[in-house]
Chain A
Amino acid sequence: MIISVAKANIQKPIEEVLAYLEALDNQTEYNSSVKSAKKREGALEYEISIDLGFFSMKEVYRVIEKRLPHLLLCRCEGKSMAFEDEYLLESNGNSTDIQITDKMELKGLLSWSEPIAHPILKSQMQDNLNRLKSILESRPQ
């Protein structure tokens, strides 16, 4: 299991940050690994294609749990890889502290690549979060 954590403070109210995050098709704008994301009708599920550099796949990314306005938990269960992303939000005045925790399980032969994958994923996650911060903060009030 690879666990990566990234943190930031976003100068936007918590409701706005959560609203942007929970539309998971927005991931194509800030998550460099997500190449496409399409919402399924009648479900909080998205068909996504992911390219991590060392591995790519098409799977379903689901909202598992949401605790308004502080937590969003999403999971993707694939044959070769499963991951769970926890988005934890805390209001800090007019801004929002955000912590994203990614728990990734590589299965079968792919599990051998965990030592290589860990630093790549951690650095990608912080870059993605910085991009998210930049997108949200550049939006008009």
Chain B
Amino acid sequence: MAKGELQAVLHSLKIDELIDTGSKVYQDKNLAYMVYDKEAALLENPLLLKTPVIRDGRKATVGYVPDVWKSWIESSKKA
């Protein structure tokens, strides 16, 4: 994910929500025990990013949340 894209996502989500603490990168780098620049780490290690990240304009979700995506579709139909 590009820096601008990540910053746009961070308007809707907290950075901690984006970090996949179950990922191999997270484990290998011992990130649970470190103080680190989370934004830089996400940009450097795409596999650290929890997925999928779904965006619709300024709205964003991370993880599998089909009910939210459905509500976006419904509201776009009404608009």
Contacts and interface: CB of A to CB of B under 8 A. Distances in A.
B56 interface: yes
B56 A65 contact: no
A77 B56 CA distance: 26
Q: Chain B interface mostly helix, strand, loop or mixed?
A: mixed
Which secondary structure dominates chain A's binding surface?
Answer: strand
Q: Could you say which interface size class chain B belongs to?
A: 10 to 19
Nearest to B60: A67
Contact of B49 (A44, A63, A64, A66): A64
Question: B51, B53, B57 — which one has the most chain A CB atoms within 10 A of its CB?
Answer: B51
Interface in B42-57: 46-47, 49, 51-57
B56 A63 contact: no
Contacts of B64: 42-44
Contacts of A44: 51-52, 64
Interface of A: 42-44, 62-68, 75, 77
Interface of B: 1, 5, 46-47, 49, 51-57, 64, 72
22 contacts: A44-B51, A44-B52, A62-B52, A63-B51, A63-B52, A65-B1, A65-B5, A65-B51, A65-B52, A65-B53, A65-B54, A65-B55, A66-B52, A66-B53, A66-B55, A67-B5, A67-B55, A68-B55, A68-B56, A68-B57, A68-B72, A77-B47
